[in-house]
């Protein structure tokens, strides 16, 4: 009975540390969400205000060059501010992904009355991954901004040709139909331009949480130098924004434990993922995914028998 209680205490302490770290990350991420939605809202208001400064006579003359300049200027500023927030969120995601392995693993060994070699808990470097994600996201958000600007201009032309008054045409543009229904309530509540919100927020959320998964996985790989037999476990819906539209296969994976070098297999789609938001997995399995994975520790008795761990 004593051994069972110790194992339970160890597992409970480990799970509590992991959950606390994920909750901390989600708290930080909420702040980024508010700032990014604020950038979108500011872009909308700037476009609306500047379009309404165009004299009615010029509006009727199809001053598309001037309109194009307004849109380009606003989108350029939006991209700059968006990438600044994304860079900071990426760094925080990487740090949290690393600490989500180191902190609970150390606590887990402490509860078992064991200590690990300190240098095996040094954080890994994920700078090359961060650079790749930065470059990829810059390309994506530039494309999104350009498409949004073109869409606005097309709607302006339609409004001009229909003879609609300037203010009515501008207001219609600002109320464009949203393309991602999962964001509809968030957009309505935050006053965000629907033509910009869905894709730019999806990119921000998916790529920064991908950084969390990659750094988490890299740190797990190093930590297994200490405990090679450690595995990994899938946790459904642990990350920021989860639950909007859960994937049934990811729900079914919750609590699944596999060897570290093996992929998780979605039991419904057959998709293979080394971790949530795996860049090698199909987009249908990673976009807006709110799952996490954690290091799954072997039993306390097994740990005590390891010669690499000292009492």
C-beta separation of 297 from 235 below 8 A: no
User: DSSP of the chain, one letter per residue?
Assistant: -HHHHHHHHHHHHHHHHHHHHHHHHHHHHHHHHHHHHHHHHHHHHHHHHHHHTS-HHHHHTT-HHHHHHHHHHHHHHHHHHHHHHHHHHHHHHHHHHHHHHHHHHHHHHHHTT-B--GGGGPPPP-HHHHHHHHHHHHHHHHHHHHHHHHHHHHHHHHHHHHT--HHHHHHHHHTPPPS-GGGHHHHHHHT--HHHHHHHHHHHHHHHHHHHHHHHHHHHHHHTTT-TT-EEEEETT-STTTTSS--HHHHHHTT-EEETTSPEE-TTT--EESSTT-TTS-GGGTTT---EEEEE---HHHHHH-TTSB-
Question: Residue 166: CA atoms inside 13 Å, Cβ hemisphere, count?
Answer: 17
What pLDDT shows up at residue 267? 93
What pLDDT shows up at residue 110? 61
- Tally Cβ neighbours within 10 Å of residue 164: 15
pLDDT band at 48 (very low <50, low <70, confident <90, very high): confident
Mean pLDDT within 251-255: 90
Mean pLDDT within 150-169: 80
C-beta separation of 215 from 292 below 8 A: no
Distance CA 178, CA 187 (A): 9
pLDDT band at 6 (very low <50, low <70, confident <90, very high): very low
What pLDDT shows up at residue 249? 93
Q: Is 259 helix (H, G, I), strand (E, B) or coil?
A: strand
pLDDT at 63 over 60: yes
Mean pLDDT within 187-192: 48
pLDDT at 265 over 90: yes
Mean pLDDT within 252-266: 92
- Tally Cβ neighbours within 10 Å of residue 101: 27
pLDDT band at 53 (very low <50, low <70, confident <90, very high): confident
At 309, give phi and psi (nearest 5°): -115, 130
What pLDDT shows up at residue 223? 80
C-beta separation of 310 from 115 below 8 A: yes
pLDDT band at 2 (very low <50, low <70, confident <90, very high): very low
Distance CA 141, CA 150 (A): 14
Mean pLDDT within 249-253: 92
The CA-to-CA distance between both ends of the chain, in Å, stands at 22
pLDDT at 181 over 70: no
Lowest mean pLDDT among 53-62, 88-97, 140-149, 284-293: 53-62
pLDDT at 305 over 80: no
What pLDDT shows up at residue 60? 67
Distance CA 34, CA 151 (A): 25
Angstrom CA distances, 56 to 52, 53, 66, 153, stand at: 9, 9, 13, 17
pTM: 0.80
Which one, of 5, 25, 3, lies nearest residue 235 by Cα? 25
């Amino acid at each position: 009975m004593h051994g069972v209680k110790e194992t339970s205490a160890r597992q409970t302490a480990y799970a509590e540390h992991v959950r606390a770290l994920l909750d901390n990350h989600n708290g930080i991420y909420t702040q980024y969400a508010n700032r990014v939605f604020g950038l979108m809202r500011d872009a909308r208001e700037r476009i609306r205000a500047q379009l309404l400064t165009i004299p009615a006579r010029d509006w009727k003359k199809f001053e598309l060059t001037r309109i194009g300049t307004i849109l380009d200027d606003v989108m350029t500023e939006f991209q700059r501010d968006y990438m600044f927030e994304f860079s900071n969120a990426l760094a925080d995601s990487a740090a949290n992904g690393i600490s989500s392995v180191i902190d609970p693993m150390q606590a887990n060994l402490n509860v078992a009355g064991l200590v690990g070699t300190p240098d095996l808990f040094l954080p890994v470097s994920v700078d090359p991954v961060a650079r790749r994600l930065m470059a990829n996201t810059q390309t994506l958000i530039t494309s999104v901004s350009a498409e949004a600007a073109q869409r606005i201009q097309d709607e302006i032309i339609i409004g001009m040709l229909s003879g609609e008054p300037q203010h009515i045409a501008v207001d219609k543009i600002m109320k464009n139909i949203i393309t991602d229904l999962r964001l509809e309530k968030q957009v309505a509540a935050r006053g965000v331009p629907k033509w910009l919100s869905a894709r730019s927020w999806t990119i921000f959320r998916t790529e920064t949480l991908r950084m969390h998964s990659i750094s988490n996985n890299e740190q797990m790989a190093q930590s297994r130098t200490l405990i090679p037999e450690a595995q990994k476990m899938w946790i459904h819906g642990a990350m920021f924004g989860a639950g909007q539209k859960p994937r049934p296969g990811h729900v079914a994976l919750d609590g699944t434990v596999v060897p570290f070098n093996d992929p998780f297999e979605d039991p419904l789609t057959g998709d293979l993922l080394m971790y949530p938001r795996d860049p090698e997995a199909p987009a249908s399995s990673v976009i807006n995914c709110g799952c996490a994975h954690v290091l799954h520790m072997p039993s306390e008795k097994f740990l005590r028998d390891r010669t690499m761990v000292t009492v």
